[in-house]
Amino acid sequence: MGCCVTDERVERRLAAVLAADVAGYSRLMGADEEDTLARLKALRRSLVDPAIAAHRGRIVKTTGDGMLVEFASAVDAARAAVEVQRSMAGQNAAVPPDNRIEFRIGIHVGDIIIDDNDIFGDGVNIAARLEGIAEPGGICISDDAHRQISGKVDTAFDDMGPQTLKNIAEPTRVWRVRLGDGANPAVESTLPLKQPLALPDEPSIAVPTVSEHERRSRAGLFR
């Protein structure tokens, strides 16, 4: 007897995929498990989950320190990510650097496979690899996502060029979201501003300088 072959069709669709995790999660857990878990839950409840819902994202699954989110639009995914990271920067402003909970986020637009409410495929894999190269508190997006987002999100981008991502066959051009260009002062550049020159208290008169040649000419030394 021959083996039956299923004719069940695989469901696919194009989606924007956001992958996020907590930078230094193992270190934070090693220092204080209960405090880390409590703070992470509170941040998700107050900042992360509401931002995702506000931009029509669907949380596909969560792990101890991360999550996978599907959006119908790359613009929605980027806006949610920027909102989360700027809010997190504000929350972390008064927290010692070694104790901060900071997310790394990657976003890609691609074809995904849907199976039992989970998602698979290169669209997911690339988003996860982009998250892995993002800085703590940062966002990295693929070139495919950048083409759809550019000009529609209140931020600028830095071109990181082609990047070799783990287990991805071809190099992927990557863009870094420049969060400091937003309106949130908590993530603006901390470089010192150039101070204006101090003016003297007493009135002063500007006296033009005269070259040695001109001074001698005026004295009649050069005729």
pLDDT, tens digit, 9 for 90 and up, residues 170-205: 899 999 999 874 433 333 333 333 333 344 444 444
By mean pLDDT, which of 21-25, 88-92, 152-156, 191-195 is the weakest?
A: 191-195
What CA–CA distance (Å, rounded) separates 127 from 184? Answer: 26
Per-residue confidence (pLDDT) for residue 110, from 0 to 100? 92
Residue range 106-112: average pLDDT? 94
pLDDT greater than 80 at residue 77: yes
Taking all residues of the chain, what is their mean pLDDT, rounded to a whole number? 82
Q: What tokens were used for 121?
A: 């495929």
What CA–CA distance (Å, rounded) separates 142 from 120? Answer: 17
